Amino acid sequence: MLDLQRRAYPMPKVMILDRTGRRMHAVAIMAFILLRTCRHPYFPTVTGRCMSALFTHHQRAADPDQHREYTRYLAQQMGPLIHALMLLGVLAYVIATVAGTLFGVSMLPLPLRLLPILPLLLVAAATRRVERPWLLSLLTLLCVLLLEIGINFNGIGHVQGQPWIMPGLLLPVATSVIWLGSWDFAIAMALCAFGPLPMLLLRSTHGVYVVQYLVYMAIAIALSAVLRAFVTHILFEQYRLERRLREQANTDGLTGLLLRNRFLELARLALADICREQKPVCMLFLDADHFKQLNDDHGHAAGDAALVALAATLRAQTRATDLIGRIGGEEFALLLPGLNLTQASQRAEQLRLAVHSIPRPDGMLTVSIGIAECSHPGEVVETLLARADQAMRRAKNGGRDRIVNA
């Protein structure tokens, strides 16, 4: 009866593999799983979104000035994290090196294996004082290079099968979120991928270990790319939100011009630089004539439309270096760097004539303008603005639609 059962249901043959065969079998299984995962219909969608998020922040920040501002923002946000990770990497390297010495698994002397520690500490200390994003990226890449050199030092002389290669697999994931751009991320992943190869090749490692390392490293780099994609997306959205909040706090919602406090803050900085360079500078103070009558007779909607048109005219008549702010309801101020009183008077006349093209229900819009030139290097912006305001008051009392110098 037993023989009949064995013939009907024969036992499967068990294939006995040696140690190398088992590793090859494991690598084949991992490659098969990775291939099946990539062929899953949901995988390209997720990967595509992650890779799109990895690079779209450069497309969104296509404006060069905005891109530079965003890069500086990343450097400020990532600077403390980069410094902390460097110190943690140095500590981990020291512990791993000392542990390798205690267990006697390395042929190289301890001083040689501790050689990368001093430059690592110097690089970590330099990151605290660095403000330029590109220099911060270069220092971080140098730290990764030094760690890869240390991994090779500690890996030389290890017996086959010992996992000193594993720390090299941690670097891509551990550093995935600290790179400021795509170029330093690509260089870092290349360093992480090819850094341990000299150790593997110099000690005549079996091909199985090399294949196994490449598979693990490919998974680590893919995971790093996904992590960086999500972190980059979150940081860019945070940057845009903070920038929007700053703009709302610093600009007038109706005209889009600077509010009084922000105008004075920027004018104070600009005035200090201009006085240091011993260049002329003038302040213009404008006030729309009979504006209260416009609001009372035709409503605030007509007044708002006139203010929007006036702000657009001021922007069209000024240079990129000029500052424009809305000081009060219908009062505006302009800081004109590099212009003396005569040149500022000519610019004010152009503005006065350009405002005549703005219609209002009861006629054309006019403005009264006061001009004040910085009299001495130590004059503060509040005093300069007050003198321009007094000149504007005299223009009002003199009949409006005119220019008066302080």
List, by residue number, the catalytic residues: 330
Query: In whole angstroms, what is the distance from residue 250 CA to residue 402 CA?
Result: 30
Cβ of 191: how many Cβ atoms within 10 Å?
19
String of b and e for 336-370 (b: at least 16 CB within 10 Å)? bbebeeeebbebbeebbeebeebebeeeebbbbbb
Cα dihedral across residues 376, 378, 380, 386: positive or negative: negative
Query: In whole angstroms, what is the distance from residue 164 CA to residue 167 CA?
Result: 6
Query: In whole angstroms, what is the distance from residue 331 CA to residue 326 CA?
Result: 6
List the structure tokens of 70. Answer: 């965003």
Q: For residue 152, what are the contacts with CB-CB under 8 A and spacing of at least 6?
A: 195, 196, 198, 199
Q: Are 57 and 232 in contact (CB under 8 A)?
A: yes
Residues comprising the chain, all counted: 406
Query: In whole angstroms, what is the distance from residue 271 CA to residue 337 CA?
Result: 8
Q: Are 267 and 323 in contact (CB under 8 A)?
A: yes
Cα dihedral across residues 102, 103, 108, 114: positive or negative: negative
Residue owning tokens 């220099």? 135
List the structure tokens of 130. Answer: 């660095």
Residue owning tokens 């595509």? 48
List the structure tokens of 326. Answer: 């809305």
